[in-house]
Amino acid sequence: MDQQRLTALELMQDGPVIPVIVLNDPAHAVPMAQALVAGGVRVLEVTLRTPQGLSCIEAIARAVPEAIVGAGTVRSAGDAQACANAGARFAVSPGYTSALGRACQELRLPLLPGVATSGEIMAAQADGFNELKFFPAVQAGGSAMLKAWQGPFGDVRFCPTGGISQGNAREFLALKNVVCVGGSWLVPVEAMEQGDWSRITALAREAVALRAV
């Protein structure tokens, strides 16, 4: 993928796993992104759970053009603006509000809104969002909930995140309404602290192989 503007669905279709990345040290951002790209994982969600999130997004956007870096834990219009300014190419939110949806639409920033209930799905769809993050997936009903939603929400595509691991990812990816999953197991904290970038590349390759479900 090049630098063209991508839809949420195109971002989800790029690979079976979107890594959910929490960075405490900005020095880890670029080598971590390079390691993931080397393993075939290009769509990266860097969360705003730490004060370093925005600077890490900016560093990756500048230094690793092969990566498609986005922002996670986006909760407000201000967050969306700050992420766009930092070079984020998409946003992921833990929940959904119309104010956030409008802000991202005005910024032309693809948004993957978080939902956990049928009412939240309907609210997001009413504002034009049909590609959604199911969060927290395991805690909110897991694959059984996604199967139940296939009937009433057959036009919605999901990225389940929250409790997804290498061990249960295939269970979710096998569902017809799941395009990809989100997970943090691709970027273990200890691997980043030790600078073990080859381990992250290996985990990325294993994640890409999950496509063959």
Token pair 């049909």 in the structure block, residue: 130
pLDDT band, residue 213 (cuts 50/70/90): very low
- Active-site option among 10, 45, 66, 171: 45
Nearest-10 Cα torsion for 141, 94, 107, 89: -80
> What share of the chain in percent tops pLDDT 90?
96
Measuring CA to CA, how many Å separate 188 from each of 88, 95, 172? Answer: 22, 25, 21
The alpha-carbon radius of gyration of the chain (Å, integer) is 16
Mean pLDDT, range 116-133, rounded to an integer: 98
Pairing of strands 68-72, 157-160: unpaired
Q: Are 104 and 91 in contact (CB under 8 A)?
A: yes
Residue 45 is among the residues annotated as catalytic for this protein: yes
CATH topology of domain 8-211: TIM Barrel (3.20.20)
Give me the chain's average pLDDT, please.
96
This prediction has a pTM of 0.96
Q: Answer yes or no: is pLDDT of 181 > 60.
A: yes
Give the pLDDT of residue 212: 56
pLDDT over threshold 70, residue 1: no
pLDDT per position as a tens digit, 68-124: 999 999 999 999 999 999 999 999 999 999 999 999 999 999 999 999 999 999 999
For 8, 58, 75, the CA distances from 79, given in Å and listed in that order, are: 18, 14, 6
109: its two tokens = 């920033």
Tokens 């309907």 belong to residue: 122
Cα dist from 146 to 135, 138, 153, 211, whole Å:
11, 10, 10, 19
Share of the chain above pLDDT 70, in %: 97
Which of these is catalytic: 133, 147, 171, 190? 133
Domain parsing of the chain, residue ranges: 8-211
